[in-house]
Amino acid sequence: MARIAILLGEGYEDSEFDEPYACLKDAGHELVVTGTEKGSTVHGKKGGSEAKIEHTADELQPRDFDMIVIPGGHGPDNLRLDQAVVGFLQDFSQTGRPVAAICHGPQLLIEADLVKGRTLTSWPSVRKDLENAGADWRDAPVVVDDNLITSRKPDDLHEFCGAILDKIELRPERESSAG
């Protein structure tokens, strides 16, 4: 099964972490909650969810993962200030493996310079930021552009999780040197 890093910051959208986490865990995938302070607990913005940060981005190697998932809410805006998280995302993107971001998650894609010339969706207030960074924004529940999967909002979680599962099942295996 796949090994997936979830980039999670304080104030994330509760359901945008909880539902993909449960969906991917139920499908048998290994999930690694990654953030800025190992061992800390981050909280959803609605107060109904919390998660423990298992690793910081500078502890991880992109080659050891099959996918990255970025929940929305305020978390991505907080994470974009951490150079280790941004660098990990940039290095991971060079593998060509999938990155999935929902709602405000594309803010982190902007910070990592991954959106120019790409077609994406997001929460409506992120639209102008994406367009200014060179992306083609679409108002659709899910947009898949090669290795990028983006989605708009919690109401789209069913389609978002389905697109993630579809993409991870089609992924090429990690290199045999991955550990």
**Residue positions annotated with a catalytic role:** 103
Phi, psi (rounded to 5 degrees) for 118: -105, 155
**CA–CA distance, 61 with 120 (Å, rounded to integer):** 26
Going by C-alpha positions, the residue among 18, 25, 35, 19 that lies closest to residue 3 is: 25
**Sequence letter at residue 40:** S
Structural tokens at position 157: 């979680």
Measured CA to CA, the distance from residue 179 to residue 165 in angstroms comes to 22
Distance CA 58, CA 134 (A): 28
